A and B are shown apart, each in its own frame.
Chain A
Amino acid sequence: MNHLPILPVLLPLLAGILLLAVRHVPLALRRALSVAAVAAQLALAVLLLVRVAGGDVLVYALGDWAAPYGIVLVADRLAAWMLVATQLVALFALLYAVRGIDAAGRHFHVLFQWQLFGLAGAFLTGDLFNLFVFFEILLLASYGLILHGGGRLRTRAGLHYVVINLAGSTLFLFAVGTLYGVTGTLNMADLAVKAAALPPEHAPLVRTAGLLLFGVFALKAALLPLHLWLPAAYANTSAPVAALFAIMTKVGAYAILRVYTLVFGAQAGPLANLVEPWLLPLALATAAVGMLGVVAGTGLRQQAAYLVVASAGVLLAAFGLNSAGGIAAGLYYLPHTTFAAAAFFLLADAIAGRRGELADRLDPGPRIANARLLGSLFFVAAVVAVGLPPLSGFVGKFLILRAALEHPAAAWVLGVVLATGLLGIVALARSGSLLFYRPVHGLEPGAPPPAIAPAVVPVAGLLALALAMTAWAGPVLDYAQATADQLLQPHQYIHAVLGGR
Chain B
Amino acid sequence: MEALIALAVGVLTACGVYLALRGRTFPVVLGLTLLSYAVNVFLFSMGRLAIGRPPVIAPGAAGYADPLPQALVLTAIVISFAMTAFVIMLALKAQAELGNDHVDGRGEP
Contacts and interface: CB of A to CB of B under 8 A. Distances in A.
* Chain B interface main SS type: helix
A156 B46 contact: no
A180 B86 contact: no
A167 B20 contact: yes
Interface in B40-56: 42-43, 45-48
Nearest to A143: B86
Given A159-B103, A177-B43, A166 B91 contact: no
A177 B36 contact: no
A183 to B, nearest CB: 11
A416 interface: no
Contacts of A140: 82-83, 86
Nearest to B39: A173
A167 B94 CA distance: 19
Contact of B68 (A147, A156, A162, A180): A180
Given A133-B79, A166-B83, A170-B35, A159 B91 contact: yes
B25 A178 contact: no
Contacts of A163: 20, 28, 32, 87, 103
Interface in A155-169: 155-156, 158-160, 162-163, 166-167, 169
Contact of A147 (B76, B90, B104): B90
Contacts of A167: 20, 32, 35
B72 interface: yes
A160 B43 CA distance: 26
B46 A181 contact: yes
B90 A177 contact: no
A169 B86 CA distance: 15
Interface residues of A, number: 27
B106 to A, nearest CB: 9
A24 interface: no
A155 B87 CA distance: 11
Contact of B103 (A136, A160, A166, A178): A160
Nearest to B86: A143
A177 B87 contact: no
A133 B75 contact: yes
A163 B22 CA distance: 12
Contacts of B25: 159
Contacts of A159: 25, 90-91, 94, 103
A260 interface: no
A152 interface: yes
A174 interface: yes
B98 interface: yes
A258 to B, nearest CB: 20
Interface in B70-108: 72, 75-76, 79-80, 82-83, 86-87, 90-91, 93-94, 97-98, 103-105
A162 B93 CA distance: 13
B10 interface: no
Given A133-B79, A152-B98, A155-B90, A174 B72 contact: no
B105 A156 contact: yes
B96 to A, nearest CB: 9
A129 interface: yes
A166 B32 contact: yes
Nearest to B84: A166
Contacts of B43: 173, 176-177, 180
Contacts of B82: 140
Q: Which of B79, B87, B93, B104 has the most CB of A within 10 A?
A: B79
A158 B90 CA distance: 8
Contacts of B72: 129, 176-177, 180
Interface in A122-157: 129, 133, 136, 140, 143, 147, 150-152, 155-156
Nearest to B42: A177
Contacts of A178: 46
Interface string A289-325: 0000000000000000000000000000000000000
Interface in A418-441: none
B98 A169 contact: no
Q: Which of A143, A158, A159 has the most CB of B within 10 A?
A: A159
A162 B92 CA distance: 14
Given A177-B43, A177-B46, A156 B94 contact: yes
Enumerate the 6 nearest inter-chain pairs by beta-carbon distance, A residue then B residue, closest first.
A181-B46, A177-B43, A173-B39, A177-B46, A170-B35, A156-B105
Given A136-B79, A159-B94, 18 more contacts: A129-B72, A133-B75, A133-B79, A151-B97, A155-B97, A155-B105, A159-B90, A162-B87, A167-B20, A167-B35, A170-B35, A173-B76, A174-B39, A174-B42, A177-B39, A177-B43, A180-B68, A181-B48
25 contacts: A129-B72, A136-B83, A140-B86, A143-B90, A147-B90, A156-B94, A156-B104, A156-B105, A159-B25, A159-B90, A159-B103, A163-B28, A163-B32, A163-B103, A166-B83, A166-B87, A167-B35, A169-B80, A173-B43, A177-B43, A177-B46, A180-B72, A181-B46, A181-B47, A181-B48
Interface of A: 129, 133, 136, 140, 143, 147, 150-152, 155-156, 158-160, 162-163, 166-167, 169-170, 173-174, 176-178, 180-181
